Amino acid sequence: TEVERHYGVPWMRMPATRGGRPRHGLVHALRQRQAMSRLLCQLCGGPTVGTRKDARTLFLAAGARQALYAGEPTASPPVHAVCARLAVEHCPPLHRRGWAAALVERTPVWGVAGTVYDPLTLERVPGPEDGEGLHRVAFTDTRRIRWTLAARLVITLEGVTPVTDLDALADEETAMIRAMR
């Protein structure tokens, strides 16, 4: 069979069905890759570029942390400010573990997260105990990237400005959208 390759790496195949209920914690490999490469909102699927006066994009991460930082690799797609506000209100992981948000100027592609196979035995290499069990492999890691079945595209965040007030950001975004109509 033909192997689906993007960025020179084989990718996990998934059906492209629509509908159903949100399944928190489960990520659709195709939709995640599309959202990351096109900077689409992880909630509504709309473009996040051009929704702000400046060219920055909003990223939201779950977990009790102080802030997102420059150079941080992430597999979480960007989000509109209005969608981020809704997510913080309604998403159980964000309620339980807290969140951090930042406006980001640049998002260079870094690598992938996926399943790594041993080149000698072809056995799956046990993944990290992070809940997903996926290895993060940089495109520069030429030895391991060849033996990786990708499930997520990973980018780095550059030009990071922490955001603590999603309400103000969402109101600003809404006003800009109304002005464009």
Q: What domain range is 142 assigned to?
A: 108-156
Q: Is 128 left (phi over 0), alpha (psi -120 to 50) or beta?
A: beta
Would 31 be classed as within a structural domain? Answer: no
State whether 48 and 101 are in the same domain.
Answer: yes
CA-to-CA separations, 77 to 59, 152, 156, in angstroms, rounded: 7, 10, 11
Per-residue pLDDT of 118-140, as tens digits, reads 999 999 999 886 667 899 999 99
State whether 97 and 162 are in the same domain.
Answer: yes
For the chain, what is the domain count?
2
User: How far, in Å, CA of 150 to CA of 166, rounded?
Assistant: 32
More confident residue, 25 or 52: 52
Q: Which amino acid is at 35?
A: A
State whether 146 and 90 are in the same domain.
Answer: no
Per-residue pLDDT of 71-114, as tens digits, reads 999 999 999 999 999 999 888 888 788 899 999 999 999 999 99
Which single residue is written with the structure tokens 């209100």?
Answer: 89
Would 8 be classed as within a structural domain? Answer: no
